[in-house]
Amino acid sequence: WKYVDMGDILALDANKEIYIETGDKDGLNGERGLEGVYEQVGIANKCFNLFNKEVQLKVCNGSHQWYGSWMDKF
């Protein structure tokens, strides 16, 4: 991205709870795979931490798909 990346966009919602899940083989994670995901979550967490919050990230085994088991608690 030229001006912003996912971490910057996530930071816009830093005062709210957010949960992200990705597959460890998800092609949408970009060329750097999970390394890039962790980097972007780290960028967002700098803002989330100002509100005593943290991005909730779950890395699932597999490709790009809906895992969703975390929704069972609702």
Predicted confidence (pLDDT) per residue in 5-17, tens digit: 999 999 999 999 8
Q: What's the pLDDT score for residue 43?
A: 95
Q: How many domains does the chain have?
A: 1
Examine the pLDDT at 1 and tell me if it is beyond 70: no
Examine the pLDDT at 74 and tell me if it is beyond 70: no
E-only strand ranges, 1-74: 19-23, 56-60
Asked whether residue 1 is domain-assigned, the answer is no
For residue 50, the enclosing domain spans 6-73
Q: What's the pLDDT score for residue 3?
A: 86
Q: What is the pTM of this model?
A: 0.82
CA atoms within 13 A of residue 67's CA, in its CB half-sphere? 17
